[in-house]
Chains A and B, each alone.
Chain A
Amino acid sequence: MTEVRVAGVGLTRFGSHPERTGRDLFAEAADRAFADAGVERDDVGELNYGNFMGALAEHQGHQAPLMAEAAAVRCPATRYESACASAGVAVREAVRTVRSGEADVVLAGGMERMTNLDTEGATEGLAIAADDLFEVRAGVTFPGAYALMARAYFEAHGGDREDLAHVASKNHENALPNEYAQFRTAVSVEEALDSPPVAEPLHLYDACPITDGASALVLVSEEYAAENDVDAPVAVTGTGQGTDRMALADRADLASTPAAADAATAAYDDAGVGPADVDVAEVHDCFTIAEVLAVESLGFAEPGEGIAAARDGLTTADGDLPVNLSGGLKAKGHPVGATGGSQIAELTRLLRGDHPNSEHVPDADVGVAHNAGGTVASAVVHVLEVAE
């Protein structure tokens, strides 16, 4: 089985670009990825593209050929949709495609355009990631679903809004030097606590913003990199995916995310590493409680102890295991269908040493990306390692 290398990564600035089309956003990210990789577009064997709500936001289905045009590649092109994990599954399939020998070069990533909708439209768009009959009709919004999990977590394990505010404050701090981040402003624990409620117990600063943006990765086989003198020092050594019951109410436990634990176990086994080997992680903090649940599912903290990870400094930039040095979804932004690709782009730069926050992890060899869909009915975990 060939090793998969990250030859190049590209992002748009995440933020509010309501007038920019999805095809233009993805074209920019792909352009940057090709420039970073030094790989010819003609060599791309497949395009794996993630997008969640393009049919609602842009009245545009069948986006994969459109994005192949935008990136100027002519090859099999497929759109992947798993809600907020859309790009994660697109990348995972790209890894499997390169490993299988089906293609030496795959362009993978995603795009979401959201701010052209008003808040109500975006809220409605995000809500369709939940079970329409039994959740959405009962008033479950995306923040509402995570609020239900947060309350269940507090009941099961303790913890409070202040613990969550430490997650928000940490991630805003991390985003300050990140030129791709939507919010490059510090938020104190007090400011986070004082923000208005969205779905109690979650308040405005517990939630990621509505974001436009795109991500693109050029993944290549180890042999292709060697033959073409492509500098690709970071390898994707592990991939795993998990699935849970769609509706939160149908899960055995409302305060944990076993799909992410399943994905992590598979990805760690695939890479031959364990949680103790991980030096840095990008996790799916669409809400502050989601980072807590992710840290536990990835094995960085025992169940019930993830709530203290940011407050106690385990996951801060100068902690033993920095989490979301990019700023996370929370501060960097969450263009839904692009997020899974952007996490791997950020991790790659952190491991290569050319990320503005690389100074916090100078000796990092192993990174983990955790991308979740809906209320973690879908989860994808990737392990990245410095190969050269």
Chain B
Amino acid sequence: MTDRNEGYDEWIDALSEGAGYALVCPEGHGSLPPRRVCPECGASPLSEEPLPETGTVETYTVVHVPSPRFADDAPYVTAVARFGPIRLTGIVRGVDGDLEGVGDGDPVEVGTAVEAGVGERETDDGRIVVLRPVET
């Protein structure tokens, strides 16, 4: 038994070091690893292109009923944000890494600028994509 997922693990390692990337095909379609060909058009090779420093929230939800892996994290905010050729789905956290304000005024809106990094679930320390609002 292994918890490793080749391709994904290297990608989230890079994201945690501030070096997140998208895979981009010769036609310019973005995707996330592991990929052998572009899922949109089947083209290859795919190059690793750095993600823009900030992305834009396109939609979000405040989750009150979690799955067991997020039992101690709820309520929490999951958002989908556009970063250049791809979107990322992540947990929104404030600059302090907490969820203060959730439930009485959302910490994000559609259009909020965010940066992407990696944090840990409170429930089991599992690694998660974290989106943090940034001043623009």
* Chain A residue at smallest Cβ distance from B39: A245
CB of A152 closer than 8 Å to a CB of B? yes
CB of A378 closer than 8 Å to a CB of B? no
CB pair B67–A197 under 8 Å, yes or no, is no
- Known contacts A120-B68, A123-B65, A249-B89; is A144 also within 8 Å of B78 by CB? yes
CB pair A137–B59 under 8 Å, yes or no, is no
CB of A199 closer than 8 Å to a CB of B? yes
Give the Cβ gap from B34 to chain A, nearest Cβ, in Å. Answer: 9
CB of A139 closer than 8 Å to a CB of B? yes
Q: Which range holds the interface residue count of chain B?
A: 20 to 34
The binding surface of chain A is classed by DSSP as helix
A window 81-108: CB within 8 A of B: none
Give the Cβ gap from A10 to chain B, nearest Cβ, in Å. Answer: 33
Q: Which range holds the interface residue count of chain A?
A: 35 or more
- Count CB-based A-B contacts (< 8 Å): 102
Q: Which of B5, B60, B69 contacts A151 (CB 8 A)?
A: B60
Q: Which of A120, A155, A196, A199 contacts B71 (CB 8 A)?
A: A120
CB of A200 closer than 8 Å to a CB of B? yes
**A–B pairs, 22, beta carbons within 8 Å:** A120-B66, A121-B68, A127-B67, A136-B67, A138-B89, A138-B91, A139-B78, A140-B89, A141-B63, A143-B63, A144-B61, A148-B60, A148-B80, A151-B61, A152-B58, A197-B62, A198-B64, A198-B65, A199-B65, A249-B88, A250-B31, A250-B86
Give 13 new A-B contacts, CB below 8 A, not counting A136-B69, A249-B88. Answer: A134-B32, A137-B126, A137-B127, A140-B89, A144-B61, A147-B63, A152-B59, A196-B64, A198-B65, A199-B62, A248-B89, A249-B80, A250-B31
> Chain B: residues with CB nearer than 8 A to chain A?
5, 8, 31-32, 39, 58-71, 73, 76, 78, 80, 86-91, 110, 126-129
In order of increasing CB-CB distance, the 7 nearest A-B pairs are A147-B61, A249-B87, A152-B59, A200-B62, A138-B89, A151-B59, A124-B67
